[in-house]
C-alpha cells in the first residue's frame, strides 16, 4: 500500500506541477486579453445574478445555478487550503492565490459561455451541458468529451464526496466527540433528501445554504480582522512584498522563495475556484437564460466571491494572526493554523469555524453530485440517474468511516486530468467566446434571445 501511495503521490505531483500551473494560468491570461478584461463587468454580473430571468428556457434560475456552482467550489480549500499555502509558500502565496482568482474570472466566463452555447436536452427534457458537449458539438472531438466525462465521473466520488464526508466526520469527532458512523448516518440521510430530487432540489437547497454559510464565515473573518486591526497594515504589506521577494524564516513564518509563493499560491487558488477544470460550467448549463453571455457573466461572479473575497479574507486573517501571536502559531499547518486564528474570537470562534467547515464540505457534496451525474448521463444516458444518486448517498456514508489518503490523491489526480480536455475546448473555441461576447455584451444586447436551437438527445 505504501508503494501505491508513493506512486500516486508522484503522479499527482506531476499533473499538478509546473506544466499544469502554466497551462491554467496562461489560459487565464489569454482569455482575459481576448475578452478585453471581462473582469470589468464583475459588478454587472453580480447584479444579473439576483435578477430573475424566469421566462428563459432552463431547469433552474441563474442564481440557483450560481449557488450550486458556489456550493461545489466554496469548500475546505478556502479554509484549510489557504492555510496550507501560507505554511508552504509564505504570506506571498496569498497574493498569487488572489491573482489566480482575478484572472481566472475570464476562464470561468469562457467555459460557462461554451457550456450554454452547446447545451442540449436529455431524454427527460432536462438541460445538460459542459466541456463534453462543447468538445463534441463545438470542436467535433467527441473522444475528448468522453475522456473528460470519464475523469469527472470517477473523480466526483473521491474529491467531491468521500473526502468531503470524511472531513465532516473527523471534524465532528474531534470537536464534539460524536462517533463517525453516527455522523455518517445523519449526513447520508441529509444528502439523500436533497439529491434524490435532482438539480432543482439541489439548487433550492444551495440558494439558502450558500449565502448563510458564506455569510457566517465572512462575519467571523471580519470580527478577527477587527481584533487584529493594529496588524492589518503590516499583514497586507507582507503579503504583497513576499509575493515578489523571498520570505525569511522567523516571526511565526517559515522561510519561502518567490517560486514557492507562486507555486503554492496558484495551485491553491486553482483548487478553490476550479476555473479551467470544467466542473462549474455543468451547473451553468442548467440555468434559465436568454443567451449564453448573460449566464456566463453570472457564473464568473462565483470566482469573485470564492477567491477574491473568501480566500483573501482567510489569508488576511491568517497573516495578521501570525503577526499578532507569532509564538502561538509557529510550526502550525493547514486546519491547525486556521483553528488557532479563530481562537482569537473567545468561545464562539472555534464553533463558527467548525460550522463553516462542515457546511462548506457538505455543500461540496451536493454540488459535485450534479457534476458527476451529468458526466455519467453523457456516457451512458439517463438510465444511470437513479443508480448514480443511490450510489452517491451510499458512498457519502463510506467516506465518513474510512481512511482516505489514497482516495484523495487519486481523485485529485483525476480532477487535474479533467482540465486538459477542457483547456483544449477553451483555446480551440476562444473565437466563439469572443464573437458571442461581441454580439450580446459589447453591443449592449444582453436582453436579446439567442437564436440557437437547443437539440434533444435520445438517451
SS3 letters across 45-113: HHHHHCCCCCCCCCCECHHHHHHHHHHHHCCHHHCHHHHHHHHHHCCHHHHHHHHHHHHHHHHHHHHHH
Pairwise CA distance, residues 98 & 450, whole Å = 34
Alpha-carbon torsion 236, 239, 241, 247, what sign?
positive
- Give the closest residue to 162 by CA, choosing from 386, 410, 355: 410
Domain regions of the chain by residue span: 8-437
Residue 54 above 70 pLDDT? no
pLDDT-based confidence at 348, cuts 50/70/90?
Answer: confident
Residue 373 above 90 pLDDT? yes
Q: Measured between alpha carbons, how far is residue 317 from residues 92, 149, 248, 416 in Å?
A: 14, 38, 20, 29
Res 408: pLDDT: 64
With a pLDDT cut of 70, the percent of the chain lying above it is 92
Residue 382 above 70 pLDDT? yes
Residues with Cβ < 8 Å from 273, sequence gap 6 or more? 73, 100, 101, 104, 108, 302, 303, 306, 307
Query: CATH topology for 8-437?
Result: Amino acid/polyamine transporter I (1.20.1740)
Phi-psi region for residue 29, left (φ > 0), alpha (ψ -120 to 50) or beta? Answer: alpha
* pLDDT tens readout for residues 85-97: 887 788 888 899 8
Of 226-230, 331-335, 358-362, 422-426, the poorest mean pLDDT is in 331-335
Report which listed range, 137-146, 233-242, 257-266, 449-458, is most confident.
Answer: 137-146
Res 166: pLDDT: 83
Of 125-129, 136-140, 433-437, 450-454, the poorest mean pLDDT is in 450-454
**Once rounded to an integer, what is the mean pLDDT over residues 116-145?**
93
**Once rounded to an integer, what is the mean pLDDT over residues 128-148?**
95
Amino acid at each position: 500500500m505504501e508503494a501505491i501511495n508513493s506512486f500516486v503521490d508522484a503522479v499527482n505531483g506531476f499533473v499538478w506541477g509546473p506544466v499544469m500551473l502554466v497551462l491554467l494560468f496562461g489560459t487565464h491570461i489569454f482569455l482575459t486579453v481576448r475578452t478585453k478584461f471581462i473582469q470589468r463587468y464583475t459588478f454587472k454580473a453580480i447584479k444579473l445574478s439576483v435578477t430573475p430571468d424566469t421566462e428563459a428556457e432552463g431547469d433552474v434560475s441563474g442564481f440557483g445555478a450560481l449557488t450550486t456552482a458556489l456550493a461545489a467550489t466554496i469548500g475546505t480549500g478556502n479554509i484549510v487550503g489557504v492555510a496550507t499555502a501560507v505554511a508552504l509558500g509564505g504570506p506571498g502565496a496569498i497574493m498569487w492565490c488572489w491573482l489566480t482568482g482575478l484572472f481566472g474570472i475570464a476562464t470561468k466566463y469562457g467555459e460557462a459561455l461554451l457550456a450554454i452555447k452547446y447545451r442540449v436536452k436529455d431524454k427527460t427534457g432536462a438541460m445538460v451541458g459542459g466541456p463534453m458537449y462543447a468538445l463534441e458539438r463545438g470542436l467535433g472531438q467527441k473522444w475528448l468529451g468522453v475522456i473528460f466525462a470519464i475523469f469527472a465521473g470517477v473523480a466526483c466520488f473521491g474529491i467531491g464526496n468521500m473526502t468531503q464526508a470524511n472531513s465532516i466526520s473527523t471534524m465532528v469527532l474531534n470537536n464534539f466527540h460524536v462517533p463517525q458512523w453516527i455522523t455518517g448516518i445523519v449526513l447520508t440521510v441529509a444528502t439523500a433528501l436533497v439529491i434524490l430530487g435532482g438539480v432543482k432540489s439541489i439548487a433550492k437547497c444551495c440558494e439558502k445554504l450558500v449565502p448563510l454559510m458564506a455569510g457566517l464565515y465572512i462575519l467571523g473573518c471580519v470580527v478577527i480582522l477587527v481584533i487584529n486591526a493594529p496588524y492589518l497594515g503590516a499583514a497586507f504589506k507582507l503579503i504583497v512584498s513576499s509575493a515578489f521577494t523571498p520570505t525569511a524564516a522567523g516571526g511565526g513564518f517559515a522561510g519561502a522563495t518567490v517560486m514557492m509563493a507562486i507555486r503554492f499560491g496558484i495551485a491553491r487558488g486553482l483548487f478553490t475556484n476550479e476555473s479551467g477544470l470544467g466542473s462549474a460550467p455543468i451547473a451553468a448549463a442548467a440555468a434559465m437564460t436568454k443567451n449564453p453571455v448573460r449566464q456566463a457573466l453570472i457564473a464568473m461572479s462565483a470566482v469573485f466571491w470564492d477567491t477574491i473575497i473568501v480566500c483573501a479574507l482567510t489569508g488576511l486573517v491568517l497573516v495578521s494572526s501570525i503577526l499578532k501571536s507569532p509564538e502561538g502559531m509557529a510550526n502550525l499547518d493547514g486546519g491547525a493554523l486556521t483553528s488557532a486564528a479563530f481562537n482569537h474570537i473567545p468561545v464562539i470562534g472555534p464553533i463558527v469555524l467548525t460550522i463553516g467547515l462542515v457546511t462548506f464540505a457538505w455543500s461540496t457534496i451536493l454540488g459535485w453530485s450534479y457534476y458527476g451525474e451529468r458526466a455519467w448521463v453523457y456516457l451512458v444516458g439517463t438510465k444511470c440517474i437513479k443508480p448514480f444518486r443511490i450510489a452517491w448517498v451510499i458512498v457519502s456514508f463510506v467516506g465518513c468511516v474510512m481512511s482516505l489518503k489514497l482516495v484523495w490523491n487519486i481523485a485529485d489526480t483525476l480532477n487535474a486530468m479533467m482540465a486538459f480536455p477542457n483547456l483544449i475546448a477553451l483555446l480551440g473555441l476562444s473565437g466563439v467566446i469572443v464573437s458571442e461576447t461581441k454580439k450580446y455584451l459589447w453591443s449592449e444586447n444582453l436582453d436579446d434571445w439567442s437564436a440557437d436551437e437547443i437539440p434533444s438527445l435520445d438517451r
